[in-house]
A and B are shown apart, each in its own frame.
Chain A
Amino acid sequence: MSSSTLDYDTVLADSARIQKRADWFILGGGALIGTTILGLIGLPFFLYGLAIIRKAEKDGLPVRPYMMTFVGALVLVDGFLNTMGYMIDVFANHSLVVRVFEIGWGLMLDGGYVWGFNDQWWGGTGAPGEKSWEIAMVFVLFPMRVAAAWGFLKMKRWGLQWLVISCWMGVFSWVGYTFNMTTYWEIRFVDTAWPVYGWWIYSIWYITPFIVLPYLYTINREMFTDD
């Protein structure tokens, strides 16, 4: 793109248009990823949206920086996936596919979703402490993280602040959750197909929110000026 031949307003208008188009792909792809089962369909759209931003940035257009877009979108997707994972246990624990999936998944990786499943008045997992973490995550952490990622992508000041806070809350919940889970290891990791190592191989990819913390502390905060 020979932007030197264009006037400033045209460049701004072009950038806005390109960013909007990219955001559609990112959000559409992210929404598909958030459904889990349609994730492989959503991934190319998601990555294509990111590629549009990267190209515009390389062309020197004033779009939101690629890395910021990537981090914001990633946390958004991560928040959606986690909300989905825990919400089905909280709200949909008597749907047929959820019962099959949760108990089946539990028999492979985490007996907390088998032991006493639907055998407490609240339904879903009966593992000690598990429901409390779910409630805290489904009603506080993940909605907050999704909202924060959205504000971050909109380059709002509160978006950056909330993203930092909710990433630290992610650290808190990882530590609390894994210790609670491990305390009751007899329920959760005995007689499952792939005990402890299986759980870690399955779950380690969700550690991203606090891998991005060093990034959030080293970006130019002055760019987040919108209230």
Chain B
Amino acid sequence: MAQNAIKESGDASGTTDAVNPHARMHKFVYRITLVCLIAQVIEGSLIVPYVLIYFGFPQLSLTEVCDEVYKIAYVDEERECVFPYPLGGEPEPWISPPSPLGPHTPPAPGWALPGFRGVIGMRAEREARKASGASNGSASAGALVEQTAGVQGDGK
């Protein structure tokens, strides 16, 4: 009796029971996810030891390996892996030598931002400057236009 009631709920539960109209799709989902799970577990277990062994552990100590990967990462023979790093210590870029790869933070753009509807004046002045030709607009151009031209000139 109880078994029948249970069976019925089993049918409706969306498991791989024959009555379930989605049984094939569910079986497909099950197989893919099982493969994924096993792959995640195997990969998750082996990746840390593999990386350590690849980079020379245990012949090299962890500190030495860290030192070596820092030198590779920064393309800098002088760069060191400071360990233990002082808790609450300053961030590394504050105290480390500048990276030979250049700054990792993009520079500020330095735009000459026009005021409200200032673009109209900028455009008019540029047109006037172009029209004046040889004089190159140096007499008529406003500070804003000069500033803009300066930024463009500095940029490249």
Contact = CB atoms under 8 A, between A and B. Distances in A.
Interface in B30-47: 30, 32-45, 47
Contacts of B65: 100, 104
Interface stretch (B10-18, B108-116, B133-141): B10-18
Contacts of B26: 67, 215, 218
B42 to A, nearest CB: 7
Contact of B13 (A61, A94, A107, A220): A220
A38 B13 contact: no
A15 to B, nearest CB: 9
B92 A65 contact: no
B40 A123 contact: no
Interface in A169-220: 202, 205-208, 211-212, 214-215, 218-220
A8 B1 contact: yes
- Interface extent on A, as a size class? 35 or more
Contacts of B151: none
Interface residues of B, number: 62
Contacts of A214: 25, 29
A151 interface: no
A99 B117 CA distance: 51
Given A104-B65, A115-B104, A205-B35, 19 more contacts: A36-B47, A36-B48, A39-B40, A40-B41, A57-B15, A60-B6, A66-B15, A67-B16, A68-B13, A68-B14, A77-B37, A77-B41, A107-B72, A119-B92, A121-B94, A208-B37, A211-B36, A214-B29, A215-B29
Q: List 10 tightest A-B contacts by C-beta distance, closest first.
A: A219-B14, A116-B104, A36-B44, A104-B51, A39-B45, A94-B85, A205-B39, A103-B69, A121-B91, A39-B41
Interface of A: 3-4, 6, 8, 11, 33, 36-40, 42-43, 57, 60-62, 65-68, 70-71, 74, 77-78, 81, 94, 96-97, 99-101, 103-108, 114-123, 126, 202, 205-208, 211-212, 214-215, 218-220, 222-223
